[in-house]
């Protein structure tokens, strides 16, 4: 079965075409047939398309909305005598609220329910809906579509970890809960770790640290999430590229008063001008900050605050789990920054974690163990493949019917 995986962001559409060979295991056995993206939709869009046996194409593209972007992707997949059969489409949807605890075949009722969740994810769910509607319009009813949610993996988080300590009635009234995000990434990381270690995911107890532009940590027991650092929105938890992560909520009102701005302005600042960017005043890109670490005190501070927070969550999640067998680093920073991994893991021998310095220095962007042979808590680097999970779930939902 060939599955087109569509991941629509606010101004991007990323895609892959995946030929599934076996969707029964924790990880999909697959072959990637094509992938690419349309970027900066509506403001001088550009594209990059790559396919098996075809030359890579890139350049600018006159597309003004998601529908045109999806249309150009499908047109390319069917052009040049490479009429790639598309048997199904899997869409990544960020927020499933308490409505979608797993993937679901898309119909009009599902679309309405995703739409109703727009309020909880105003930047993300409308983009996913545009991608769904565009694909339906272009491919027609004959091609089944499945929605796979970034929040679903976290629905196993118990009440004591998912509930904020605010008046209970308010949480009930407004559906306030720690939903968690990056679920597809954490789900892939743990499945891949289990696969590499030859064991069922249901036997794995680990902490996953997904560190990219957005960052989150998840505590996983028996292959299921039991706590995660992002909450009602992706703003909570770790320090990120431009997001602050955890802070004292009293700061919102205090800063609004002091700066004569609104709470909305402060929330915007916490999402877009904080984190690594706000701390360093230099960049939200960890590459630049680690390169400047020795000579720029603000870059150094940003990296140190980032690592301290991640390490604090690691310690907390080891306590939540009562110990673990592995810590897994993923995401652009987790995969590629030995300095960050070293700082997060330094001095953790008390819990059995010892890095292998030479493995840590050399493992960049590949799936490999970086802990010392005698470390009782293993440390792994895993390159996340969210599309694998989206395609697997899509195939499973369609096979169930
Ligand atoms: P997203 O969360 O948008 O999917 P990625 O997982 O691709 O992002 O992570 C992007 C981030 O990874 C970049 O902003 C950069 O900070 C970081 N990164 C990429 N390569 C390196 C590197 N060699 N060293 C440190 N950080 C890196």
Domains of the chain: 2-149 (3.30.420.40), 183-381 (3.30.420.40)
Average pLDDT over residues 267-296: 97
Give the Å distance between the CA of 226 and the centre of ligand 1: 26
* Atom 12 of ligand 1, residue of closest alpha carbon: 332
Q: What is the mean pLDDT of the chain?
A: 95
Residue 248 CB neighbour total at 10 angstroms:
7
Give the Å distance between the CA of 331 and the centre of ligand 1: 7
Of residues 84 and 40, more confidence is placed in 40
* Residue whose token pair is 């329910």: 113
In three-state secondary structure terms, 121 is coil
Which region among 50-54, 65-69, 152-156, 187-191 has the lowest average model confidence (pLDDT)?
50-54
In three-state secondary structure terms, 24 is coil
End-to-end, the C-alpha distance of the chain in Å comes to 15
The pLDDT value given to residue 401 = 66
3-state secondary structure 190-251: HHHHHHHCCCCHHHCCEEEEEECCCEEEEEEECCEEEEECCCCCCCCCCCCCCCCCCCCCHH
The pLDDT value given to residue 368 = 98
C-beta of 214 in contact with ligand 1 (< 6 A): yes
Strands 378-381 and 326-330: parallel
The pLDDT value given to residue 23 = 78
- Would you state the torsion angle of the CA atoms of residues 327, 384, 154, 135, taken in this order, to the nearest 10 degrees? 180
* Residue whose token pair is 């009102």: 253
Average pLDDT over residues 78-82: 75
| pLDDT tens, residue by residue, 202-229 | 999 999 999 999 999 999 999 999 999 9
Q: Is the pLDDT of residue 54 over 90?
A: no
C-beta of 216 in contact with ligand 1 (< 6 A): no
Give one word for 365, left, alpha or beta, with left for phi > 0 and alpha for psi -120 to 50: left
Give the Å distance between the CA of 212 and the centre of ligand 1: 5
* Measured CA angle at 58 (ends 81, 47), to 5 deg: 100
In three-state secondary structure terms, 20 is strand
Q: Which residues are catalytic?
A: 150
| pLDDT tens, residue by residue, 29-50 | 889 999 999 999 988 899 999 9
Q: Is the pLDDT of residue 123 over 80?
A: no
Give the Å distance between the CA of 359 and the centre of ligand 1: 20
CA 42 from chain center: how many Å? 24
The pLDDT value given to residue 11 = 87
Query: Rounded CA gap, 51 and 337, in Å?
Result: 29
Q: Is the pLDDT of residue 400 over 90?
A: no
* Ligand 1 atom nearest 241 alpha carbon: 14
Strands 13-22 and 2-8: antiparallel
Query: Rounded CA gap, 244 and 271, in Å?
Result: 7
The pLDDT value given to residue 78 = 86
Q: In sequence order, which residues have a C-beta less than 8 Å from that of residue 162 and are 6 or more positions away?
A: 154, 177, 178, 179
Q: Is residue 269 within 8 Å of 277, Cβ to Cβ? A: no
Q: What are the φ and ψ backbone dihedral angles of 284, each rounded to 5 degrees?
A: -95, 5
C-beta of 285 in contact with ligand 1 (< 6 A): yes
Query: Rounded CA gap, 344 and 311, in Å?
Result: 5
| pLDDT tens, residue by residue, 17-34 | 999 988 788 888 889 999
Q: Which pLDDT band, with edges at 50, 70 and 90, does 363 fall under? A: very high
| pLDDT tens, residue by residue, 90-120 | 999 999 999 999 999 999 999 999 999 998 8
Please compute, for residue 275, the number of CA atoms within 13 A of its CA located in the half-sphere on the CB side: 29
* Residue whose token pair is 């550009």: 46
pTM of the model: 0.95
Strands 224-228 and 215-221: antiparallel
C-beta of 286 in contact with ligand 1 (< 6 A): yes
Q: Is the pLDDT of residue 81 over 80?
A: no
* Ligand 1 atom nearest 286 alpha carbon: 16
The pLDDT value given to residue 124 = 83
């Amino acid at each position: 079965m060939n599955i087109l995986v569509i991941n629509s962001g606010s101004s991007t559409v990323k895609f892959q075409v995946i030929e599934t060979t076996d969707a029964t295991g924790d990880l999909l056995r697959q072959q990637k047939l094509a992938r690419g993206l349309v970027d900066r939709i509506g403001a001088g869009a550009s594209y990059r398309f790559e396919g098996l046996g075809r030359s890579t194409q890139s350049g600018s593209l006159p597309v003004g909305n998601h529908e045109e972007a999806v249309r150009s992707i499908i047109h390319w997949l069917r052009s040049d005598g490479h009429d790639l059969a598309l048997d199904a489409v899997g869409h990544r949807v960020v927020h499933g609220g308490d409505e979608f605890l797993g993937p679901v075949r898309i119909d009009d009722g599902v679309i309405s329910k995703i739409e109703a969740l727009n309020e909880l994810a105003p930047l993300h769910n409308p983009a996913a809906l545009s991608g769904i509607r565009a694909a339906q319009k272009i491919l027609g009813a004959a091609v089944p579509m499945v929605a796979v949610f970034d929040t679903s993996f976290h629905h196993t988080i118990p009440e004591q970890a998912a509930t904020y300590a605010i008046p209970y009635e308010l949480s009930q009234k407004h559906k306030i809960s720690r939903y968690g995000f990056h679920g597809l990434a954490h789900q892939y990381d743990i499945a891949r770790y289990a696969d590499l270690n030859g064991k069922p995911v249901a036997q794995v107890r680990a902490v996953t640290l997904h560190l990219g532009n957005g960052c989150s940590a998840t505590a996983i027991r028996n292959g299921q999430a039991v706590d995660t650092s992002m909450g009602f929105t992706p703003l909570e938890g770790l320090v990120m590229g431009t997001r602050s992560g955890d802070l004292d909520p009293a700061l919102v009102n205090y800063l609004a008063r002091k700066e004569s701005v609104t709470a909305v302005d402060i929330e915007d600042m916490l999402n877009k001008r904080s984190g690594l960017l706000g701390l360093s005043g230099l960049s939200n890109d960890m590459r630049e900050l680690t390169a400047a670490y020795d000579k720029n005190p603000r870059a150094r501070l940003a990296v140190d605050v980032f690592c301290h927070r991640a390490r604090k969550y690691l310690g907390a999640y080891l306590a939540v789990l009562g110990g673990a067998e592995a810590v897994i680093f993923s995401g652009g920073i987790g995969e590629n920054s030995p300095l960050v991994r070293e700082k997060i893991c330094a001095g953790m021998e008390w819990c059995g974690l010892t890095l292998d310095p030479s493995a840590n220095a050399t493992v960049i962007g590949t799936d490999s163990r970086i802990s010392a042979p005698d470390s009782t808590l293993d440390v792994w680097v895993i390159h996340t493949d969210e599309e694998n999970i989206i395609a697997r779930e899509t195939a499973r939902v369609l096979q169930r019917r």
